[in-house]
Amino acid sequence: MGVYTVKAMHVVGSCFEMTGTDESKLMADVTTAAMKMELDIERKVSQRAAECEQKAANEKEPRATALRERAKRYRELASTLRSGRGG
Q: What is the pLDDT of residue 61?
A: 96
pLDDT at residue 1, rounded to an integer: 63
Residue 8 to residue 3: CA distance in whole angstroms? 17
Question: Which residues are bridge partners to 15 per DSSP?
Answer: 9
**SS3 state at 59:** coil
Count how many domains the chain has: 1
What is the C-alpha to C-alpha distance for residues 31 and 20, in angstroms, rounded to an integer? 14
The pLDDT averaged over each successive group of 10 residues in the chain (87 residues) is 82 81 89 87 94 97 97 93 69
**Per-residue b/e over 35-68, b at no fewer than 16 CB within 10 Å?**
eebbeebbeebbebbeebbebbeeeeeeeeeebb
Answer whether 0.75 is exceeded by the pTM. Answer: no
> What's the domain range around 75?
4-84
Spatial separation of the C-alpha atoms in residues 45 and 17, rounded to whole Å: 23
> For residue 50, what pLDDT is reported?
97
